[in-house]
Amino acid sequence: MPYFGDQEARSIIRDTYSRVRSDGTAVAEAFYAHDELAGVPAEAVAMALGVGHPVRHAALRTGESVLDLGCGAGIDTLLAASAVGPSGRVVGLDMTPEMAARARRNAETGGFDHVEIRAGLIEELPLPDSSMDVVISNGVLNLSTRTSRVLAETMRVLRPGGRVSITDLVLAEALPEDVLKSPAALAG
Amino acid sequence: MLLKKFFNVGFEAIAVVERRWFGLADLARYPLFTPEFLEFMGKVMPPHRHNELVSSIAVTARKPVARR
């Protein structure tokens, strides 16, 4: 049973992610190799909030186009950009304007000219049909109240034969109702 | 449930390529969570689940070349 509607959930998540600050590297160091982290701006490393390493499993090739759903401050977007090289294209999408601005700044700081950051909803992807080779996402799908809609949109924007690599949190056992009703748990 | 949603929208070659547990100590790394929230979680979750609150999974899949 959902405890938050679409709008309320989005509001809680936007508010949480617009306020979050970090100058540590504990999350990034849990998932990424040091040489990978050395290739992206420090702010993107400090603001890593994902739950895995979707780029590692994406088998990206030079020249491919990649969409990062819920890019946050951009760590996976920029790692994907490194993997596909300047002949490729990477789009980072985030519904929180502050996060999109951070990702844009980090792409500029890192000199990733083939990265484009957009503000928007993962349930309504602002991209044409069959326009991307790969879609990645890191710890974002569970934040949507309409996961199937997100996956349908992902399917729409992928080219035939296109790939997804998504890391996300799943429950092995139900959480207590007090946790499910918690805005902090929703945003995390 | 998540994998079924991938299947239902038409993805193929769906695979879980990595899985790891997330416990309270893992959550504590994230600036998203306040000490008060972590304390709340510690109280409301039974001790045997403190190291296994949720799983992080990595899923890969492919859009068919010819849609069904």
Using the Cβ of B16 and the Cβ atoms of chain A, whether some distance falls under 8 Å is answered with: no
- Chain B residue with minimal CA distance to A46? B31
Look at chain B and report how many structural domains it folds into: 1
Angle at A125 between CA A119 and CA A128, to 5 degrees: 120
Does any domain span residue B7?
Answer: yes
Chain segment A130-179, per-residue pLDDT in tens = 999 999 999 999 899 899 999 999 999 999 999 999 999 998 777 777 77
pTM: 0.91
Residues from chain A contacting residue B68 (CB–CB below 8 Å): none
Domains in chain A, number: 1
Q: What is the per-residue pLDDT for B67?
A: 53
Task: Judge whether B1 is closer than 8 Å to chain A, CB to CB.
Answer: yes
Domain-embedded: residue A178 = yes
Domain that holds residue A155: 6-187
Q: Categorize the per-residue pLDDT at A6 as very low, low, confident or very high, splitting at 50, 70 and 90.
A: confident
Return the CATH number at A155.
3.40.50.150
Contacts of A170 in chain B (CB under 8 A): 1-2, 54-57
The reply to whether residue B2 touches residue A147, judged by beta carbons under 8 angstroms, is: yes
Kindly state whether residue A1 falls inside one of the protein's structural domains: no
Q: DSSP states of B13-51 as a string?
A: EEEEEEEEEE-HHHHTT-TTS-HHHHHHHHHHS-GGGTT
Question: Closest Cα partner for A48 from A29, A68, A67?
Answer: A29
CB contact under 8 A, A30 and B44: no
